[in-house]
């Protein structure tokens, strides 16, 4: 569903038009389920987070600041529901990863830096490869430290803005940018390792 359609559903619900209810529930159940599954790591927890989130959403729907921000608002509630679930499970301390660890393997050749990266040029056309890479991407996001995972899911999967993400996670905009960059670099590194294992590496000078 397009973002505009989602905003329209929220607007209709606020106006008291219940015919938008089931479509809204169906749409956000899938979205919040996916998010919580990657955040909590368990299907059972995710199912519970979905119901708890939607219950809070409808109880407080009148407090939605503007229909335009419905996605960020729903994910703010989902994030809190996930935090409560996580406290009940294993506590994972935040881990910062340095940028140096995420740079591609490199060396110098004469006066120039050289890096080794796989050949990514086949990706746009190859549907099977795209789907495989997306599967790896999902696993990579699920396994990355939570501070990066939470930002990647909101910024790159749910496409919230930097400001909306900062608001949902209750951190400043610079922290969102730093974490997003590291999360993306981690994801790129994993995809590159996969491609390198499955195709000859290209050396770029």
Decide: is 193 part of the binding site for other proteins (CB under 8 A).
no
Site for other proteins in 63-122 (CB under 8 A): 99, 103-104, 106, 108, 110-115, 117, 120
b/e map 24-50, b = 16+ CB within 10 Å:
beeebeebbbbbbbbbbbeeebbebbb
Where in 84-195 does DSSP place strands (E)?
106-109, 112-118
The SS3 call for residue 112 is: strand
Site for other proteins in 124-183 (CB under 8 A): 130, 133-134, 137-138, 141, 152, 156-157, 159, 162, 177, 180-181
- 132 CB-side CA count, 13 A: 13
Helices and strands per DSSP (H, E), number in the chain: 9, 3
Helix (H) or strand (E) holding 169, with range, is: helix 162-169
Q: How far is the CB of 91 from other proteins (least distance, A)?
A: 26
Decide: is 5 part of the binding site for other proteins (CB under 8 A).
no
User: Radius of gyration (Cα) for the chain, nearest Å?
Assistant: 20
Q: How far is the CB of 158 from other proteins (least distance, A)?
A: 10
Decide: is 198 part of the binding site for other proteins (CB under 8 A).
no
The DSSP call for residue 199 is S
Contact flags string 29-68 toward other proteins, x per CB under 8 A:
xx--xx--x--------xx--xx--xx--xxxxx------
Q: Which residues bind other proteins (CB under 8 A)?
A: 13, 16, 18, 21-22, 25-26, 29-30, 33-34, 37, 46-47, 50-51, 54-55, 58-62, 99, 103-104, 106, 108, 110-115, 117, 120, 123, 130, 133-134, 137-138, 141, 152, 156-157, 159, 162, 177, 180-181, 184-185, 187-188, 191-192, 202, 204-205
């Amino acid at each position: 569903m397009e973002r505009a359609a989602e905003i329209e559903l929220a607007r209709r619900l606020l106006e008291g038009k219940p015919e938008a209810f089931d479509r809204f529930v169906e749409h956000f159940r899938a979205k919040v389920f996916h998010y919580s599954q990657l955040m909590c790591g368990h299907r059972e927890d995710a199912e519970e987070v979905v119901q708890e989130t939607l219950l809070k959403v409808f109880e407080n729907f009148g407090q939605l600041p503007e229909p335009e921000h419905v996605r960020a608002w729903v994910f703010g509630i989902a994030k809190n529901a996930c935090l409560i679930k996580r406290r009940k499970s294993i506590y994972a301390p935040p881990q910062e990863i340095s940028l140096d660890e995420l740079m591609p393997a490199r060396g110098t050749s004469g006066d120039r830096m050289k890096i080794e990266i796989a050949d990514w040029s086949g990706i746009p056309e190859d549907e099977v490869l795209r789907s495989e890479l997306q599967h790896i991407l999902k696993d990579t996001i699920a396994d990355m430290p939570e501070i990066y995972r939470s930002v990647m899911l909101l910024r790159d999967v749910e496409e919230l803005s930097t400001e909306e993400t900062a608001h949902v996670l209750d951190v400043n905009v610079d922290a969102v940018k730093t974490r997003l960059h590291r999360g993306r670099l981690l994801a790129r590194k994993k995809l590159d390792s996969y491609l390198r294992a499955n195709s000859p590496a290209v050396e770029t000078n």
